Amino acid sequence: MTSPIDIMRCAKLLCDQYGAEADLIAAVRADRLLEQGELDGYATWKAILRAIVDIRSQTPRDGQSVH
């Protein structure tokens, strides 16, 4: 199992490299692994996808104030 810190690092890297498409990239990768029967890899990429969503929910959008 991949550690939570590694999941977050991967999610952050994807967000930094691919911006708004990071979640799509993670979802496609998860789907491909599921199709191949790689359940551990699928679970890891689903966790990365959830981490991307968490990162985005904590990141202020343009024009949004930070308290």
Tokens of 20: 């708004």
- Domains: count for the chain: 1
Domain extent at residue 8: 4-57
pLDDT value of residue 58 = 86
pLDDT 10s digits, 12-59: 999 999 999 999 999 999 999 999 999 999 999 999 999 999 999 986
- Give this prediction's pTM: 0.85
Contact between residue 53 and residue 9 where contact means Cβ atoms under 8 Å apart: no
Q: Is 46 inside a domain boundary? A: yes
Confidence category of residue 60, pLDDT binned at 50, 70, 90: low
Q: Is 65 inside a domain boundary? A: no
Q: Is 67 inside a domain boundary? A: no
Tokens of 15: 């967000």
Q: Is 63 inside a domain boundary? A: no
Cβ-based neighbour number of residue 8 at 10 Å: 16
Would you say residue 67 has pLDDT above 60?
Answer: no
Q: Is 44 inside a domain boundary? A: yes
